[in-house]
Amino acid sequence: MQKQIHIISTGQQTKELFIEKIIAIHEEIDFIHIRERSWAVMEVIDTVNILVQFGVPFSKIIINDRVDIAASIHARGVQLTSHSVSIDYVKKHHPNLLVGSSVHSVSEAIDKEKAGADYLLYGHIFKTDSKKGVAPRGVDSLMTIREQVSIPIIAIGGITPDTVPAVVQAGANGVAVLSGILLEKDTVEAAKKYKQALEGLQ
């Protein structure tokens, strides 16, 4: 499969700035995760509607945790966490949604694949400011998970364009990025660097 870039909202930007940046870079990326725990439901829905008005396809939009929102706006998928509803529930009631599951261990990865997840979000791979004081899991652990599951794995956590080859070689089918793109001054250039790094490995 083609290697993917997943953008995840940072929780550090206004709705307006997030929208501006996504509109600028959406052609360079594959999926946009809206993970804003402090936003009201209508803020998420309004954001998606504005993005779509400016040409961002529904097929790129993934909603974090809130299955109800993802289903109601016809988003491409939902990203489930440890406190979310079960994968079985989503598959039964919303079979058209792509279901991603965030995992942090081999056993979790195996369990979520068995439960029917379409892909896994695994990390954090490298040291990152968003996980201060928590040791990174590294590419060796990613390689171990790759040996145990067959569904796509998206690596997350401190990944730069320079380290993209290492995570792909360890078995990742793509990378998820937050600050490395969205908090960069030149967001478009940053997105292009990740895309070029992945394209060089296709």
Please identify every residue annotated as catalytic: 124
Residue 17 has φ and ψ, to the nearest 5°, of -70, -40
- Nearest Cα neighbor of 123 from 111, 133, 114, 136 is 136
Residue 173: CB atoms within 10 Å: 18
Q: What distance in Å separates the CA atoms of residue 88 and residue 142, rounded to the nearest whole number?
A: 25
Residue 150 in tokens: 């067959």
